[in-house]
Amino acid sequence: MAKKKFVVGCFDTEDTLFPAVKKVRTAGYKIQDVYTPFAVHGLDHALGMRETSLHTAGFIYGITGTTTAVSCISWIFTKDWPLDIGGKPHFALPAWIPIMFELTVLFAAVGMVLTFCYICQIAPFVKKHHFHPRATDDLFVMVIECTDKTNTQEAEMFLQNAGAVETKTEIAEDGWWIGRYDKDEMPFDKNLTLA
């Protein structure tokens, strides 16, 4: 875990956000992430992020679920404990299909949720830094990651010119930590004095 310096710009609407993202990227700043109150269509493309592989993972989990169901039921009903149920054959495929389907869905769903949590580094009691509380309400918050050479004042000016209604510079924890917001001290400097 490392503390880093960030320049934060807050935008009112998507209409100003999209051109700003384009300008900031063209200017060569590295955008750490954009925090929005809701899923914004096309923002991932604008940020130049690659397509997610989550659905491929989901497919693999699903196949695993189907295989588990088939192998488990067929072993139980044909080898381990064959029962005569209504005179049906022991290998009664139509009757198994609902269970195969359910296990496929279960494995795919649970697997994808856990994978998603892992990728986004979210879990119970795991905390990450909020750059602006209103990112969960009505502000689109763009966070630029600074390097040693970044002039923060210049970056803030740049964001303001691009339409940001509020800008700030902070040093914050980049990764996650375990704790509780109401009890823990935030492991970042609230009142930063610029060097």
Partner 1 sequence: MASIREQFEIPGKMKTWAYALISVGVLSFAIGLFTKGMGTEEERAIFLGTVMYNTIFWTLVCNASMFFLCATTMAWAGWPAAFRRIPEAISTMVPIFGTITLAVLLYAVFSHNHHIYHWSVDSVVANDPILKGKAGFLNVKFFTIWSILAVALWSFLGYRMRQLSSMADEAALGGMTGAAFIKQNTVRAATFLVWFGLTVGSTIPWLWLMSLDAHWYSTMYSWYNFASTFVSGMALVALWLIYMKNKGYMEYATNEHLHDVAKFMFAFSVFWTYLWFSQYMLIWYSNQPEETVYFKHRVQGAYKGIFFLNLIINFICPLIILMKRSAKRNYTLVTFMAVLIIFGHWIDYYQQVMGSISKEHVTLGWLDFGILSFFVGVMIFGVSKALASKPLVPKHHPFLKESIIHHT
By the criterion CB under 8 A, which residues form the site for partner 1?
41-42, 51, 55, 59, 86-88, 94-95, 97-98
Other C-beta atoms closer than 10 Å to the C-beta of 69 total: 21
**Nearer Cβ to partner 1 (97/120):** 97
Secondary structure tally for the chain: helices H, strands E: 5, 6
Cα angle value 29/44/2 (rounded, 5°): 50
Q: Are 142 and 9 in contact (CB under 8 A)?
A: yes
**Nearest approach, Cβ of 66 to partner 1 (angstroms)?**
12
**Nearest approach, Cβ of 173 to partner 1 (angstroms)?**
34
**Nearest approach, Cβ of 52 to partner 1 (angstroms)?**
11
**Nearer Cβ to partner 1 (42/133):** 42
User: For residue 88, how far is the Cα from the chain centroid?
Assistant: 48
**Nearer Cβ to partner 1 (101/118):** 101
Task: Tell me the C-alpha distance between 31 and 77, whole Å.
Answer: 56
**Nearer Cβ to partner 1 (87/133):** 87
**Nearest approach, Cβ of 118 to partner 1 (angstroms)?**
23
